[in-house]
Structure 1
Amino acid sequence: MPTTTSDRTPLLENWNGARPRSFRCRISRMFRRGAGPSWLASYEWFILGSWLNVLLVFVPLSVAAYILDWDAALQFVLSFLAVLPLSVLLGRATDELSYSLGQTMAGLLGASVDNIVEIIVGVSALLRGEYRIVQTSLLGSILSNLLVVLGCSFLAGGLKYPESSFQVTAAQTSSSLMTLACITLVIPAAYHNAFQIEDGCTRPDCDILAGLLAISRGTAVLLLLVYMAYIFFQLQTHSYLFKSSFVENVERPQMNMLAASSALVLAAVITSFCADYLVASIDETTTRYKVPKPFVGLILLPIAGNAGGWITSVWMALKKKMETTIVICVGSSIQVAAFVIPLLIIIGWMTHHELTLFFANFETIVLFVSVILVNFLVQDGKSNYMEGLMLIALYLVIALAFWVS
């Protein structure tokens, strides 16, 4: 039987083994289902369907704070609280669209929507020349998904069940791609340090920057190609590796297709404004209140962007659907490392912003050890609460290190 609304993930396809429909059938099916729940019922469920939506009251407050030029810290807090429920709503709208689009088309949409907050924040910071915020927020999103979201999921599942299992091959493939993306972020740092040591810091900075830009832009194109191949691998040739063996009762969609589409666009537009206000207040807030800017980018911003995935991942772990949890956590990290970061590099290239893949040595080491730990924990295809505690502990140590940086 098909899965429930909360159980479906865009990157999982054909769970019920049904014969794939043709593109024409899917299009006609979409419009037939557009006559499902009414617009009023759809939006009523969309707005009132989660207790977290009470935070939507901060959306108009964040707009007022920006227009009236309130204190920078207040602008930051209000915009931060506004982005939290918006990230959840984006996920809910995408989930509802998968009823009509089918898992393959929904997967392609979800590949962008799952990390749309990171993309919006990244583009906003990039166009403002805040390269450090771009880098740390994206790195923080990877670490947040790999350590705190996956750790909380392992912990929640481990407290309910002695041990949970998942498909080893799929998990290892995902973690291997994550390792590849991590290595591509290490190479620019190694390049930068090598020339500084070999040349005794005599090489002009412009020459080093030109080399870093060439490496970063070439790597970005290659990573995007690898990511597209991974999507094809996951959705078509090896989709059976990502199926969940645990299914539940049928549940009808709560929104019609047109309402879900409009809700997705509306939430994305509102998120773009709130994210822009959030980024605009960072510089003054960190300067006036002595908050380390890397801590804001690496720890605080990913909390807002990953709120939706965090809730869904823990819920799936409690229902012993660990394949879905792995896809949400590791899959989202792969999307950031192999899709969002290269995308922003190319956007910077097109808009004449010199964004590179060169991260500070400390940040590179933190990412590398985090990926190694996750690889060790998923290689046996089992999880328990102790593994969750280890991931959360590492994340707290990293947060402490960036707070005192």
Structure 2
Amino acid sequence: MPQGTSATVAHPGSDEHTPLIGRHARSDSHTFHDGLVREAPTFVQSLRNFLLSGYLNVLLVAVPLAFASHFAHWGATADFVLSFVAIIPLASLLGDATEQCSLRLGQTIGGLLNATFGNAIDENLPQVELIVSILALIRGELRIVQTSLLGSILSNLLLVLGCSFLAGGLVFKEQTFQMTAAQASSSLMVLGCSTLVIPAAYRASQLDGSLDRDRDGALSLLAGVKDGKADLDGLLKLSRGTAIILLICYATYLFFQLRSHHYLFEDPSEHEEEEAKMNIQTAIGALVVVTVVTAFAADILVGAIDEFAQERNIPKAFIGLILLPIVGNAAEHVTSIWMATKGKMELTIGVAIGSSIQIGVGLIPILVIVGWIINQDLTLFFENFETIVLFVSVLLVDILVSDGKSNYLEGLMLIALYLVIALAFWFTR
């Protein structure tokens, strides 16, 4: 070993000159459960590990093309398609950077970062959804905010979980997972879904008393539209109060998951401590840079939606509910399916249901509060059809995970429901 190394690193029978590329340590060297101390990767090694972390990174070529399209005015279709493709690898890199930061920040801070922004198993990260939603919120595109977030929930609950159950069921006749943790997560998801049903019921009850005005066209109450001011004020107050309550529930859920009942969410097949592939400085720098680039790409994407939808005659609801979630979830779809084929169903459940909780009980209420601050009247009232679709989806998932078992038929059911929903929104005008 070179002179100046503070500890000996060697496995029995190993070559002491074997390089420790990608091993976990730093000037802040880290001792693993096996007693070994490993050096942190250098900047060059960290950057190489980061950029070569997955095949999706080949799509990074679309990033400069998206910026070129925007500034050279190639048109809305080119802007939308190129920025859409560009955000797919950027979302994956955001996940990698978050994971590497969490591995370096210690158990408490790292655990909070994992649970809030994704975890070390590449759980679906809400960074992309958060960036796209905030930019759309600032632009006043409240329907895009709502449909993209609802689409992310549906994509994770039905498409990701369905494909995982199907793929795992083709390898194993039946798979099992921790039932208590799955029930706690799905129950919280039911709570989040219920808080979207109540504003819809509230709006319906208000309009029932104003049918004459509706027929005369004097009252038109949609999320974020200021006609019918009195009714909208009540809906806003209900939504903002509900958002605060949901955030308290989400904080309690994080405590439940990270501290008081953390053992329920651990995969019993995972015993080895994961090694970091980046040093802390490079990981933080990469997280900042990729976040900024993603924000610019998302701004191009959001700005092109209206014109792209008109040019291609594609419903905006379909873009928000079906297409946009693919941007943030592509890498996680692959990860979840891969884990299911390996029999790691706790991880798969964490990807699908856990990420839906992050969005439904965490991100949506946060955006309602942000809209309150910046004077954008975002409410928890979704269109009645969308609310019914979400309720049915959550109900089906809750029923399927309640027994702690999965098979390919259950996966096929979830995928079938997702396809029916996609078909319905394709014909929504």
Structure 1 and Structure 2 fold alike (TM over 0.5)? yes
SS in 1 for 2:105: helix
| C-alpha contact 2:77 2:304 (8 A) present in aligned 1 | yes
Matched, 1:127 2:138: yes
Q: Which residue of 1 aligns with 2:13?
A: none
Please report how far the alpha carbon of residue 318 of structure 1 lies from its aligned counterpart in structure 2 after TM superposition: 1.7
| C-alpha contact 2:26 2:40 (8 A) present in aligned 1 | no
Question: Counterpart of 2:392 in structure 1: which amino acid?
Answer: V
2: CA distance, partners of 1:330 / 1:188: 23
Question: Counterpart of 1:174 in structure 2: which amino acid?
Answer: S
Counterpart of 2:275 (choices 235, 239, 252) is 252
1: CA distance, partners of 2:27 / 2:289: 20
Q: Of the two, which has the highest radius of gyration?
A: 2
Question: Counterpart of 2:113 in structure 1: which amino acid?
Answer: L
1: CA distance, partners of 2:237 / 2:275: 50
Query: CA distance change for structure 1 residues 201 and 345 in 2, over 3 Å: closer, same or farther?
Result: farther
Q: Which residue of 2 aligns with 1:231?
A: 254
Please report how far the alpha carbon of residue 261 of structure 1 lies from its aligned counterpart in structure 2 after TM superposition: 1.4
1:130-145 alignment runs, 5 A limit:
130-145=141-156
Please report how far the alpha carbon of residue 92 of structure 1 lies from its aligned counterpart in structure 2 after TM superposition: 1.2
Question: Counterpart of 1:216 in structure 2: which amino acid?
Answer: S
1: CA distance, partners of 2:288 / 2:190: 33
Matched, 1:265 2:288: yes
Q: Which residue of 2 aligns with 1:191?
A: 202
| C-alpha contact 1:31 1:257 (8 A) present in aligned 2 | no
Instruction: State the TM-score, normalized to the length of structure 1.
Output: 0.90
| C-alpha contact 1:35 1:256 (8 A) present in aligned 2 | no
1: CA distance, partners of 2:259 / 2:237: 33
Q: Which residue of 2 aligns with 1:346?
A: 369
SS in 2 for 1:306: helix
SS in 1 for 2:343: coil
| C-alpha contact 1:29 1:100 (8 A) present in aligned 2 | no
2: CA distance, partners of 1:367 / 1:183: 10
Question: Counterpart of 1:98 in structure 2: which amino acid?
Answer: S
Please report how far the alpha carbon of residue 198 of structure 1 lies from its aligned counterpart in structure 2 after TM superposition: 2.7
Q: Which residue of 2 aligns with 1:209?
A: 232
**Higher helix proportion:** 1
Please report how far the alpha carbon of residue 250 of structure 1 lies from its aligned counterpart in structure 2 after TM superposition: 5.5
SS in 2 for 1:202: helix
Matched, 1:112 2:141: no
1: CA distance, partners of 2:27 / 2:426: 49
| C-alpha contact 2:159 2:418 (8 A) present in aligned 1 | yes
2: CA distance, partners of 1:191 / 1:214: 12
Larger RCO of the pair (alpha carbons < 8 Å, separation 6+):
1
2: CA distance, partners of 1:179 / 1:249: 34
Query: CA distance change for structure 1 residues 126 and 47 in 2, over 3 Å: closer, same or farther?
Result: same
| C-alpha contact 1:148 1:395 (8 A) present in aligned 2 | yes
| C-alpha contact 2:130 2:363 (8 A) present in aligned 1 | yes
Please report how far the alpha carbon of residue 99 of structure 1 lies from its aligned counterpart in structure 2 after TM superposition: 2.3
SS in 2 for 1:61: helix
Matched, 1:364 2:368: no
Of the structure 1 ranges 292-301 and 245-254, higher mean CA displacement relative to structure 2 is found in 245-254
Q: List runs of 5+ in structure 1 lacking aligned partners.
A: 1-27
Q: Which residue of 1 aligns with 2:5?
A: none
Q: Which residue of 2 aligns with 1:337?
A: 360
| C-alpha contact 1:30 1:257 (8 A) present in aligned 2 | no
Matched, 1:69 2:69: no
Counterpart of 1:60 (choices 61, 64, 75) is 64
| C-alpha contact 1:118 1:138 (8 A) present in aligned 2 | yes
Please report how far the alpha carbon of residue 243 of structure 1 lies from its aligned counterpart in structure 2 after TM superposition: 1.3
| C-alpha contact 1:79 1:274 (8 A) present in aligned 2 | yes
| C-alpha contact 2:100 2:278 (8 A) present in aligned 1 | yes
| C-alpha contact 1:30 1:100 (8 A) present in aligned 2 | no
Q: Which residue of 2 aligns with 1:79?
A: 83
2: CA distance, partners of 1:124 / 1:388: 34
Identical positions, percent = 56
1: CA distance, partners of 2:415 / 2:323: 16
2: CA distance, partners of 1:250 / 1:135: 38
Q: Which residue of 1 aligns with 2:21?
A: none
SS in 1 for 2:213: coil
| C-alpha contact 2:186 2:353 (8 A) present in aligned 1 | yes
1:374-385 alignment runs, 5 A limit:
374-385=397-408
1: CA distance, partners of 2:283 / 2:196: 37
| C-alpha contact 2:102 2:113 (8 A) present in aligned 1 | no
Cα shift readout 1:130-163 (whole Å, capped 9, x = no counterpart): 1110000000000000000111111111111111
2: CA distance, partners of 1:381 / 1:109: 27
Counterpart of 1:100 (choices 101, 104, 113) is 104
2: CA distance, partners of 1:100 / 1:79: 31
Question: Counterpart of 2:426 in structure 1: which amino acid?
Answer: W
Question: Counterpart of 2:189 in structure 1: which amino acid?
Answer: M
Cα shift readout 1:70-110 (whole Å, capped 9, x = no counterpart): 11011100000000001111111122223222344223223
Query: CA distance change for structure 1 residues 218 and 251 in 2, over 3 Å: closer, same or farther?
Result: closer
1: CA distance, partners of 2:136 / 2:42: 39
Matched, 1:200 2:211: yes
